[in-house]
Amino acid sequence: MFAGTGSDVGKSVVAAGFCRIFLQDGYTPAPFKAQNMALNSFATPDGLEIGRAQAVQAEAAGIPCSTDMNPLLLKPNSDHTSQVVLNGKPHGNQSAYSYFRKEGREELRKEVNAAFDRLAARYNPVVMEGAGSVSEINLRETDLVNMPMAIYAGADVILVADIERGGVFASVYGSIMLMTEEERKHVKGIIINKFRGDARLFEEGRKMIEELCGVPVLGVLPYFKDIHIEEEDSVALGAKNYQARQGRINIAVVLLRHLSNFTDFNVLEQDPRVCLFYTNNVEELERADIIIVPGSKSTIADLAELRKNGVAQAIIKAHKNGKTVLGICGGYQIMGCEVLDPHHLEGEIERLPGLGLLPVSTVITEEKVTLQSNFRTLHIKDSLPDGNTQGKRVFPFKGYEIHMGESTPFGGMECSALNLLEDGREDGCFVSDKCMGTYMHGILDNGEFIEWLIAPYADKCEKSGFDYDEFKQQQYNRLADVIREHVDMEKLYKILGRDD
């Protein structure tokens, strides 16, 4: 288990790196995080929902993702409540107070332990990840994801600390000293993460930590910005770009308060022709060629906020001025004529007018749709692979749906679908090649769709030919190389009992 001295110390990325290392070394690794809190989720091949971080780690391990890798997912609805997703399916909404009560806790513990057991029977090693700080002593009795999980699994725990934020000695020593004696027995190593500069300057500090804690420091990982691994949650947005640039196709992602699945834009971020930036600033939106309204965990709340801060009017104005506007999932709902919540699933507001850019009405539904899909965009010219003489339709694009809501034509208006799915369903709404919406997360991972989307602005740059799948595999390998260079792998394998 890679446990942390706090949140955002790099546990998810380190775990992904070790998944790739164990794969390279001939093992069959799989990731596991008993409980994850994140708005960034992913649909498994069997149509269930897990945290995006475990899907990324599974990709690094070279295996399909499953709910056993993240049996319990909390998706915040507000500062006080979250949707509980158990074994990939919604299990209702709970306040933080009610969720962390002792009552009913053992039932959840049985579920996450059973998921681990199923995973451990199929894969070796299981690369576990803790959550937040490993030493939240006030939550010890109800904790499902840190040391109680490590003890159940018999896991060797590697403590990850972030030196960049300062206080690394106190955070490491304090984390270990606040553990019980039984918990400390499982802590076998320490990794210092995000070190800037020459690591030799920290050699004395490394020895001090080992003497204080009685635990070896296995490595000091450097701070890096040139390796791109999908981030776990929107805390990473703080490092994203927030301004347009000259000489690029400027694509603005509307910075919603409850923005979810921001990994939809990872491919565009890496495209050298594009400047993708996040903003809720009206002036910055005016500089964009393309505006994307992204997914939201609270569509009505975010729509109300857009109306208050003037962003809604700015998007409508941009559309009138010939800019492209694309809505994805919650953003698709926001771009419609109205959003209805008759069951009060998101709050007290039963109806709110949308931006009116798409002729659809959305009803927030109790049942969540989670699917992986192959599809084709109806407005891109059909192309058949070489040798296809049967005239069969092909579905070259991949994506996934995660939404609670159904969108239908508004008031008898005509609505042309954007996509046709392989199972025969239609998806989204197409008004023009500069105004459209879709429920399909991952639509922007498909290079041909990107080429079509940016075609009106192609004179700003040269064609890219960027292969995102190949890029991701390169990044996992580069991450593994960095870890191998800066972590004592021989000592780590001895800890794991695999020193042959």
Find all residues with CB under 8 Å of 12, minimum gap 6, and list them.
53, 56, 57, 129, 231, 232
Distance between CA atoms of residues 9 and 16, nearest Å: 14
The residue count for the chain: 500
Cα 496 to chain centroid distance, Å, stands at 29
Q: Under a CB-based contact definition with an 8 Å cutoff, are residues 398 and 374 in contact?
A: yes
Distance between CA atoms of residues 497 and 500, nearest Å: 8
Amino acid at 163: I
Select from 313, 307, 415, 325 the least CA-distant residue to 361. 415
275 in catalytic set: no
- Find out whether the peptide bond into 125 is cis, omega within 30 degrees of 0: yes
Give the 3-state secondary structure of residue 118: helix
Cα 474 to chain centroid distance, Å, stands at 19
- What would you report as the CA-atom Rg of the chain, rounded to the nearest whole angstrom? 24
Q: Which of 258, 319, 403, 441 is catalytic?
A: 441
Extended strands (E) in 355-491: 360-363, 369-377, 397-403, 406-409, 419-421, 426-427, 429-432, 435-438
461 in catalytic set: no
Strand order across the 2-4 sheet: 2-4, 157-162, 187-195, 217-222
Q: Which of 329, 337, 415, 429 is catalytic?
A: 329
Amino acid at 194: K
- The 3-class SS string of 321-354 reads CCCEEEEECHHHHHHCCEEECCCCCCCCCCEEEC
Question: Which residues are catalytically annotated?
Answer: 329, 441
